[in-house]
Structure 1
Amino acid sequence: MQSPAEKASAIQGKPVDGASTTLSVSTSSDDNRQVQSVDYSLSGAKLHILIFGLGLAVFLMALDMSILVTAIPLITEKFQSTADIGWYMSAYSLSLCALQPLSGKLYANFSLKWTFLILFLIFEIGSAISGAATSSEMLIVGRAIAGAGAAGLMSGTLSIVAVVVALRLRALYTGILSSMFGIALICGPLLGGVFTQHVSWRWVFYINLPLGVVTIGAMVFFFNPPSRSVEGDAIVDRIKRLDLIGVGVFVPAIFMVLLALQWGGIKYAWNSGRIIGLFVGGGVALIGFGFYQSRKGNMAMIPPSILTERTVFLASITAMLGMPASTTLGLWMPEWFQVIKGDSPVQSGVSLLPAMLAQTVSTIIAGGLTTVLGYYNPWLLAGTALMSIGCGLFTTFEVTTSSSMWIGYQVIFGLGTGMFITSPLIAVQSVLSAADTPIGIATVTFFQMFGGSLFAALSQTIFNEQLLKELMKNAPSVNIQALLAAGTIGIHKVASLEQLPGVLQSYNVALMDTFYLAAATSAAGFVFALWLPWISVKSKNLAAGVA
């Protein structure tokens, strides 16, 4: 039998599908297993095609978080299901968020290639069901299935990058891929408006199918790393390491907390028995989950040795606090353009181009500079600072705000978002072993998604409460129920010419007040980022070690 060194000698330098391979051994946090991993690097056209396919996967996953906004009015008209509006959005986001940690364990214990493809196919199946829905219930089920598959796409994409790209170059490629996430969040309403106005609302979901073929093709033909070997490699041992009991406690806990936040003050009063019950149930379940995880040790779904590592912990908290700014812009800025400036859904998407372009440029530049200089810290600090400043500037918007102001402020914000979005993900890769990288990436991704979902719900509450308060002050004679039922586009039809200035002023105040929360969370993220250790990505050359 060959020793690991002999095997490495046999493999090193021999191309596999035109790729460079090197065998190495690393230790996983899961019971100190020895994982024989392969540093499988790609270059040239094959790398670029794979990155393009992965970028599409990230884009589609994030697109489904925002594209539905402009399609909801037509969907509710089709199914006569106004009461289900909240579920159209939350069915996807709840599954996406709650199953993030499990995806990390799947990637750490099973084939990276085939785990990614299976999860992506689940996402595609959910999209097909949603597009073909004949009832509101069928649409909700499709959205939940799509979210379950999407839960592993971001972490899987970055885990693949960790295999095919050296750590010193990872920031650049991670930046390119992560920029797809931010772009999708911002341009989702634009694409949703195009499909609903010119094709059909069903193409909001169907668009994932033809584009998904590109991703599947790139993975099948251009990502073929040699298999790795793991101690205790029997399928039963792998399943045990998934910590399914922990999953069974964690998923309902996250569902209850997020549902309480999404329903509170909107569908049910905050002091209602249903909301209190969800908070109590979710809190108790999370406490139980934490206790169980501490007993499981490194066999836990989120191993304490990974989560309590200083860089991983601080990067996760920073990611959670920074993400609300990006979510808030994508959620509320299109509303501001449509209500205050009278833009159509498509026009409001075009108006967000300054933030989108600035984010794309700064993401790539920050990734390139991280590659050259070796440190992610400057861009993480600058990014959270600029996001906080940008959100603060957004709060100064008035009904009469000029285009030069909203363009300039978006550029400031976009530059910050681009610098921030990849840095926490690079941070965890600089300190974790090859075998633990997928779990670390999934952990940070979970905190990002949870932060976005958590503060999106809180911003919705701020908007609703502030809008009612401002309408009673600025437009007391308007029929508030009719105004709210009319939706964004119907405001000008419900309010009279005399009432309209007060209505617009009320909406402006309520919409911009949501950015106070985003400014505060970004500033808090800056504080946590200050404590991150300065570790050069040039000092290590890790690969994720999963085939």
Structure 2
Amino acid sequence: MALLALLNMKTPKLSFFSAHMLIIGLTYKYDISTSESQRSNDHPPAQAFKSKIKEDGFWKKFDWWLMCALVIPVILETLDYTVVATAQPRIAVSVIYIGTSYLLASTVFLPFFASISDIYGLHFGLQLSLLFFLVGSAFSTGAVNMTMLLVGRGIAGIGSAGLLTIVRTIMSDSSSLDTNNIQQSATFFLYALGFCIGPVIGGFLVTASFRWVFAINIPCAVLAMVLCFFLLRKRVKGAKSSEELPGSTKSTTCMTKLALIDWIGTFLFIIGGTLILLALNWGPDDNWKTVRVIVGLVIGVIVFVACILWEVILERKHQASAVAISALHHVQPMLPLELFRSYNICVLHYGSFVSGIVMFVIFYFVAIFMTVVSGLPPDQAGTQLLYFAPGLGGGSLISIQLIKHFRQPIYPIVAGLIVMTVGLGLIQTGMQKNVQGLVNGFMCMTGCGVGLTAGPNVIQVRFLMPDHVAATNALLLFFRTLGGTVGLAQCFTVMNAKVDSYVVEQIRSGAISGSALDALGALYNSGGLDSIQSLEGLPPVSQQIIRDAFRDGVRWSFISLIPWASLAVILSLFLSTIPDPDARGTDHDKEMELPEPDETRKLSYKLEGDEHAVPIQQQNR
């Protein structure tokens, strides 16, 4: 089996999120509607006007404080991907397990923190996430062996799951379409900032000691906890009320709330998700035939089915009055099953799944193409991924304007999925022709499709399921990572098969000379292509055969993704529209137009207590 040249090469993470730096210069003016209570007909028009001014000022101030409170938690989450990736080659030879333990924990714990945010509130959930991150970083910093390091990375990954879920929920925790729209650009800015400074910090720290790579997170996490306490505690939604959490009571305390958490569902989800993700990671290398792959997939699926069945039991227990299940009366389902009964939510989760496939595959396989096929050094191959950045940022900006104009996220969602599908087909065309410029241009186009769907997906889900914002955000993130894992497993399998078949076909056709055949035989007997150096050590004829084989394999990998994206396009055409609270607020404001300037002046006298002012009732007469 043909192994990959870039399996042990660190993928440049900066390129993905550097596109979001386009958001930095964005100036987007928007109006926020006043609440229904402030728009009551009982208030005089001028007073309503003053209230609106005060509220607008409050919201502008709130957004800036929100950014200040969340900037360090977001940077912490992004630093771990960029800084640690820089240090991994200096820590151990088997660096893949360091990233795997972190990735697994940050994926399977996503729904758990959605439950935490509902039961204990967003601020508590964010502080708990930072605490896990702090403890995990401390373990990694003081690790005396690889086991302790992996445990620390896993604990930090749990904290990362909370940061991902809570930050996204806070950024979509508004009933205004305009506010949600602009806050997506703020989210992109925060992640861009973290992914830009991460490699710079990592470059300095790794020259000193790998422990500093983890130690830098400790003071940052402490500072983030302090800032969130003072800046965020009173500005985000607290725990759900007893009416919103069936089975809870008004006297529920912090400790008794532990009984509300779906511990069994969480355990089953974590075990099932971990087994499936590990099996998908092992599958391409093991050719899907080893015991660990088969057992992992089978047991993982069985555990996931058990998790769903358990959630069904919890859902029905709220409607039943049997004494036998009274002990489960207070447990809140981790995965509300109404999410999976909604066609719209299922399609949006599938769209996030497809976006994850496209993003992960582009990062890995374009780098493989540039390194193995085009012969670029690893650092230059990484810079080619920067062409994905302008498309991603441009797509994000376009989606903001489309939502602002059409008042519906479905338009950029459908457009983005179409662009992604076409982009995948064009990328493989550029690879077939082996024209680097075409690959870069079509990669930028595909990035635009991903950017078009990223923010609108979150907005669409938020307004379709306003009672489960945290759960839907967690599932969007989970399906994005699951999609990326499935996409990589599929593409590595397709590429390996195509590379093997291409080499065998060249041998059978007699196109390979004796010396080149001996070199290829020695390469495969030694375990395959495990580094770019092993490719450069081959004779020129053998090198060209391997490069052509990988060009064909990578091209077919992208072709294999087109059915996934095409299905997403078809399904998205039937998405429902969302309500627009801002539009309703605008209509209401039109009914409450301010009086003429003279009447406004008289009204102000009346409000100030001027006894000579004409009463409002007489003015109306």
State the shift of 1:109 in Å: 0.7
Return 59-68 or 376-385, whichever deviates more: 59-68
Corresponding position: 1:515 with 2:526: no
Q: Assess, with a 3 A threshold, how the Cα gap between structure 1 residues 414 and 242 changes in structure 2: closer, same or farther.
A: same
Equivalent residue number for residue 326 of structure 1: 359
Q: Residues 384 and 417 of structure 1 are in contact (CA less than 8 Å); yes or no, is this contact kept in structure 2?
A: yes
Q: Assess, with a 3 A threshold, how the Cα gap between structure 1 residues 54 and 327 changes in structure 2: closer, same or farther.
A: farther
Q: Residues 173 and 469 of structure 2 are in contact (CA less than 8 Å); yes or no, is this contact kept in structure 1?
A: no
Q: Assess, with a 3 A threshold, how the Cα gap between structure 1 residues 405 and 104 changes in structure 2: closer, same or farther.
A: same
State the shift of 1:119 in Å: 0.5
Q: Residues 126 and 145 of structure 1 are in contact (CA less than 8 Å); yes or no, is this contact kept in structure 2?
A: yes
Distance between the aligned counterparts of 2:134 and 2:345, measured in 1?
Answer: 31
Equivalent residue number for residue 245 of structure 2: none
* Greater relative contact order structure (CA < 8 Å, 6+ sep): 1
Equivalent residue number for residue 121 of structure 2: 111
Corresponding position: 1:498 with 2:524: no
- Code of the residue aligned with 2:440 in structure 1: it is I
Equivalent residue number for residue 14 of structure 1: none
Corresponding position: 1:251 with 2:267: no
The secondary structure found in structure 1 opposite 2:560 is: helix
State the shift of 1:128 in Å: 4.7
State the shift of 1:278 in Å: 1.6
Q: Residues 280 and 489 of structure 2 are in contact (CA less than 8 Å); yes or no, is this contact kept in structure 1?
A: yes
Return 478-487 or 455-464, whichever deviates more: 478-487
Distance between the aligned counterparts of 2:379 and 2:229, measured in 1?
Answer: 35
Matches within 5 A, 1:371-386: 371-386=404-419
- Code of the residue aligned with 1:284 in structure 2: it is I
- Code of the residue aligned with 2:542 in structure 1: it is Q
State the shift of 1:467 in Å: 3.5
Corresponding position: 1:461 with 2:489: no
The partner residue of 2:180 within 153, 170, 174 is 170
Unpaired runs of at least 5, structure 2:
1-35, 41-50, 243-248, 319-331, 507-515, 586-621
Equivalent residue number for residue 165 of structure 2: 155
Distance between the aligned counterparts of 2:378 and 2:499, measured in 1?
Answer: 21
Unpaired runs of at least 5, structure 1:
10-19, 22-38, 543-547
The secondary structure found in structure 2 opposite 1:43 is: helix
State the shift of 1:151 in Å: 1.1
Q: Assess, with a 3 A threshold, how the Cα gap between structure 1 residues 203 and 525 changes in structure 2: closer, same or farther.
A: farther
Equivalent residue number for residue 225 of structure 1: 234
Distance between the aligned counterparts of 1:189 and 1:222, measured in 2?
Answer: 25
Distance between the aligned counterparts of 1:310 and 1:128, measured in 2?
Answer: 44
Equivalent residue number for residue 448 of structure 2: 415
State the shift of 1:279 in Å: 1.9
Equivalent residue number for residue 406 of structure 1: 439
Distance between the aligned counterparts of 1:162 and 1:47, measured in 2?
Answer: 12
1:230-256 deviation digits (Å, cap 9, x = unpaired): 222333552232210111112111111
The partner residue of 2:299 within 273, 281, 297 is 281
- Code of the residue aligned with 1:309 in structure 2: it is S
Equivalent residue number for residue 17 of structure 1: none
Corresponding position: 1:348 with 2:348: no
Q: Residues 398 and 508 of structure 1 are in contact (CA less than 8 Å); yes or no, is this contact kept in structure 2?
A: yes
1:267-300 deviation digits (Å, cap 9, x = unpaired): x452333322222211221221111111111732
State the shift of 1:190 in Å: 7.0
Q: Residues 69 and 192 of structure 1 are in contact (CA less than 8 Å); yes or no, is this contact kept in structure 2?
A: no
Equivalent residue number for residue 143 of structure 1: 153
State the shift of 1:381 in Å: 0.8
Equivalent residue number for residue 43 of structure 1: 59
The partner residue of 1:262 within 269, 281, 287 is 281
- Code of the residue aligned with 2:537 in structure 1: it is V
Q: Residues 314 and 529 of structure 1 are in contact (CA less than 8 Å); yes or no, is this contact kept in structure 2?
A: yes
The partner residue of 1:75 within 86, 91, 112 is 91
Distance between the aligned counterparts of 2:574 and 2:361, measured in 1?
Answer: 26
State the shift of 1:473 in Å: 4.8
- Code of the residue aligned with 1:106 in structure 2: it is I
Q: Assess, with a 3 A threshold, how the Cα gap between structure 1 residues 420 and 482 changes in structure 2: closer, same or farther.
A: farther
- Code of the residue aligned with 1:126 in structure 2: it is G
- Code of the residue aligned with 2:577 in structure 1: it is W
Distance between the aligned counterparts of 2:484 and 2:434, measured in 1?
Answer: 27
Distance between the aligned counterparts of 1:467 and 1:131, measured in 2?
Answer: 41
Q: Assess, with a 3 A threshold, how the Cα gap between structure 1 residues 372 and 447 changes in structure 2: closer, same or farther.
A: same
- Code of the residue aligned with 1:166 in structure 2: it is S
The partner residue of 1:304 within 326, 337, 351 is 337
RMSD: 3.9
The partner residue of 2:422 within 389, 392, 408 is 389
The partner residue of 1:90 within 83, 86, 100 is 100
Equivalent residue number for residue 481 of structure 2: 449
Distance between the aligned counterparts of 2:525 and 2:57, measured in 1?
Answer: 59
- Code of the residue aligned with 1:286 in structure 2: it is F
